[in-house]
Structure 1
Amino acid sequence: VEISEDIVLLGHEFIDEIYDLIWLVMPGYYRKGTYEMGKYFGIFKYGKLVSITGQRMQTNQFIEVSAVVTHPEYTRKGLAKQLIAHTTKEILKENKTPILHTNKCNLAIPLYEKLGFELTRDMNWWLYRIK
């Protein structure tokens, strides 16, 4: 994947912008403390954070590519593609396997497959609450 955008390692000073962008696109998915789980990378347009990827779950063998989000005004411009490729390369530099998970109906699945990710299993998620 050709990287034509400036990809920025997002420091703690961007935590509010990361949070706001993710909640704009996927409400309920992300908490501010999630930032502490790994590196986050972003692309800015006109001084505004418009696309990000991050790292979340990690073991000695793998790191999850997470929080793949692009502002609705900037989708279909290849920003997420470049960020996923960049984040994947960063994970491979650590001699770990990049993984990701998503919902079955996610329209980005063909992009993930084009970037080399393979469907390995279908998982069901359950949410339990104490009443």
Structure 2
Amino acid sequence: MTILDNPVWAALSGPQAEFAETKGRAARFTAGVSPFHGLADAADPGAWNDLAALTGDGGPVLLPAGPDDPPAGWAVTSLNRGVQLVGSAVRPEADPEAIPLTRDDVPEMLDLVALTRPGPFGPRTVELGRYLGIRRDGKLVAMAGERMRLTGFTEVSAVCTDPAYRGHGFAGRLVSAVAAGIAERGETPFLHAAIGNTNAIRLYEKLGFSVRRPVNFHQYGRPQA
């Protein structure tokens, strides 16, 4: 097993510990940053007990790469199947039109996410790393950025384009530009895609990413007290 097999725990127990809420061998991102949870070892019943204590507020428990058969008392309430891709052969390329996005841009970023649904993105997600966007006539029409950061790897995420502006290659340009910033730090980009999003997977493979493994994104119901 490598850190890419358990990215949430690797991020929250490592480079992104400042965003972690931790209980023993369970952790989650601070509210508003990301809804993801992580376990040091999903095969350890004690880690699940820690997760139950951590999530006593009753919020959703989203666990990437979690088991289909969780311990007794837990139940899978939703499941999204995906793949993890690693960009070992990506050719990073800066883009003069890709502008940095900041907290001031969050309302527009949230609007674009609501329109395109690229995956979880909250009001504080922008704090996790570098986000870039492309504007047309002042309007934010495409973006991509960095989400989970592990030792030696950074995830490219929130890749999305307003449907009215698709077909211009914005997604590929932004992924390459985000990857350029990751490469400057001596890290390797990786990302996740829904298994049914074949167009996105083909684009990522064209850019130099390769499918590493399937990854299932589970939401669990907590044991009842």
- Identity among equivalent positions (%) equals 39
2:206 match: 114
Paired residues for 1:98-109 under 5 Å: 98-106=189-197, 107-109=199-201
Q: Following superposition, which runs of at least 4 residues in structure 1 exceed 6 angstroms of deviation?
A: 1-4
Given that 1:23 and 1:29 are in contact with CA atoms closer than 8 Å, whether structure 2 keeps it comes out as no
Letter in 2 for 1:94: R
2-structure distance, mates of 1:94, 1:56:
15
2:214 paired with 1:93? no
Q: Return the TM-score normalized by structure 1.
A: 0.92
Deviations 1:50-103 (A, max 9, x none): 000010000121100000000000111111111011011110001001000011
Higher relative contact order (Cα pairs below 8 Å, separated by 6+ residues): 2
Is the CA contact (8 Å cut-off) linking 1:23 and 1:30 kept in structure 2?
Answer: no
Is the partner of 2:213 in helix, strand or coil? coil
CA deviation after TM superposition for structure 1 residue 3, in Å: 6.5
Distance 1:51-1:97 versus aligned 2 partners, 3 A rule: same
User: Is 2:87 aligned against 1:18?
Assistant: no
Deviation of 1:29 after TM superposition, in Å, equals 2.3
Deviates more, 1:13-22 or 1:41-50: 13-22
Superposition RMSD in Å: 1.8
- What residue ranges of structure 1 are gaps of 5+ in the alignment? none
Q: Cα gap change, 1:4/1:126 in structure 2, threshold over 3 Å: closer, same or farther? A: closer
TM-score, with structure 2 as normaliser: 0.55
**Equivalent residue of 2:219, what SS?**
coil
- Helix, strand or coil: the match of 1:123? strand
Higher percent of residues as strand:
2
Of residues 110-119 and 100-109 in structure 1, the stretch that sits farther from structure 2 once superposed is 100-109
2:175 paired with 1:77: no
Q: CA deviation at 1:20?
A: 0.9
Q: Quote the Cα distance in structure 1 between the aligned partners of 2:129 and 2:94.
A: 21
3-state SS of paired residue (1:49): strand
Bigger-Rg structure (1/2)? 2
Give the aligned partner of residue 123 of structure 1. 215
Q: Counterpart of 2:156 in 1: which secondary structure?
A: strand
Per the alignment, residue 52 of structure 1 pairs with 143
Q: Which runs of 5+ in 2 are unaligned?
A: 1-90
| Count of equivalent residues | 131
| SS class of match (2:220) | coil
Aligned to 1:29: 120
What is the aligned partner in structure 1 of residue 158 from structure 2? 67
Per-residue deviation at 1:129?
2.3
1:42–1:52 CA contact under 8 A, matched in 2: yes
Secondary structure at the aligned position of 1:31 is classed as: coil
Q: Tell me the CA shift for residue 36 of structure 1.
A: 1.0
